[in-house]
Amino acid sequence: MAKKLRRRLVILLMIIGFIYLNNTSYLVRPTGEKPLLVAHRGMHQTFPMAGIAWNTNTARRIYPPEHPYLENTIPSMAAAFAAGADLVEFDIQLTKDGQFAVFHDGVLEYRTNGQGAVRDYTMAELKKLDIGYGYTADQGQTFPFRGQGVGMMPTLDEVLTHFPDRAFLIHVKSGDPKEGEVLAEYLKHLPAERLAQLTVYGGAQPIAVLQERLPHLRVMSLATMKKALLSYLALGWTGYVPPAIRNTQLQLPLKYARFLWGWPHRFLARMHKANTRVILVLGDGRWSEGFDTLEDLEQLPPNYTGGIWTNRIDRIAPALRAKGKFRAE
């Protein structure tokens, strides 16, 4: 009996040792790569995250402006790249005439002088709106960008044409599978090297359409990420990377990422080999909280080489550059 118990104990210790050695980051050599910086909505006007809900009018609670840029515009994206972004995130919605407008909100009246939804208008009509109309930092006493955003809502095609060699993260705001179909039809005409610079995320149904029609395009939805992470939690301890977590993107809240097998460096090495991009966000992942202050950056693992989600690329990129952690062009 004692002999059997010792044998089982030895086997258990061997299994524990295998799991530890197979997943510890202490045995992973630093790659020397720099973090990838993701500028959420380009350079934009930020706001306090406390107390927001899905339908909060964030344009009415911005901080006092420190720069002139408005989210999801070509100037804001250019400023973000100039500041040091490797990847710019923006939002798209289908218009009445079948184009993709680059705009975030579900309703126009929060930020613009329009009413209703993007889908109710043609792109030509949306171009007449002032997208800076609704911003205020003092509860409506002044509107610092009113009159400055007329004609500045771009199309998806305008963005990709203006930045022909830049990488983007495209957010499909709708859950309508039709938007996936229209987007797939547009993207299929792009060369493979251009598609490799693009990642699309959003609702489960449009992303499923894109995944089926453009299997080489990197995509992500809550459904794909859940499937990927569950499969990895079940099998990743062995070092095996399941198909569900390959060629995709993971936007991980930092407080949950630390529970993944091999976190941080062995996990990142596995994902790099599987062509999966890992982007860390703050908070619980619902409200696009980013690493926006120097204090936020201190929470990153030492020698972290994955993606960093930020709403303040103008602050974060210079801070990382000063520390020698800036990605080389």
Q: Note the pLDDT of residue 328.
A: 43
- Is the CATH number of domain 34-322 3.20.20.70? no
Q: Which of 310, 282, 279 lies closest to 46, judged by CA?
A: 310
Is the model's pLDDT at 1 over the cut of 70? no
Average pLDDT over residues 140-154: 97
Over residues 271-314, the pLDDT tens digits come to: 999 999 999 999 887 778 999 999 999 999 999 999 999 999 99
Q: Note the pLDDT of residue 8.
A: 79
Q: Would you say the pTM of this structure is higher than 0.75?
A: yes
Burial 60-91 (b: 16+ CB within 10 A, else e): bbbeeeeeebbbbbbebbbbbbebbbbbbbbb
Cα–Cα distance between 270 and 278 in angstroms, integer? Answer: 11
Cα–Cα distance between 184 and 211 in angstroms, integer? Answer: 9
Between residues 46 and 329, the one the model is more confident about:
46
Cα–Cα distance between 223 and 40 in angstroms, integer? Answer: 21
Cα–Cα distance between 62 and 110 in angstroms, integer? Answer: 12
Is the model's pLDDT at 162 over the cut of 60? yes
Q: Note the pLDDT of residue 96.
A: 97
Over residues 166-207, the pLDDT tens digits come to: 999 999 999 999 999 999 999 999 999 999 999 999 999 999
Between residues 20 and 281, the one the model is more confident about:
281
Length in residues, the chain = 329
Q: Note the pLDDT of residue 327.
A: 52
Q: Note the pLDDT of residue 252.
A: 96
For the chain, domain boundaries? 34-322
Burial 104-135 (b: 16+ CB within 10 A, else e): bbeebebbbbbeebbeebebeebbebbbbbbb
- Percent of the chain clearing pLDDT 70 (strictly above): 98
Average pLDDT over residues 40-68: 94
Token pair recorded at residue 164 = 């022909």
Is the model's pLDDT at 95 over the cut of 80? yes
Q: Note the pLDDT of residue 16.
A: 84
Coil, strand, or helix at residue 180?
helix
Indicate the helix (H) or strand (E) that contains 168: strand 167-172
Token pair recorded at residue 325 = 């952690």
Cis peptide before 264 (omega within 30 of 0): yes
Q: Note the pLDDT of residue 329.
A: 40
Average pLDDT over residues 27-42: 89
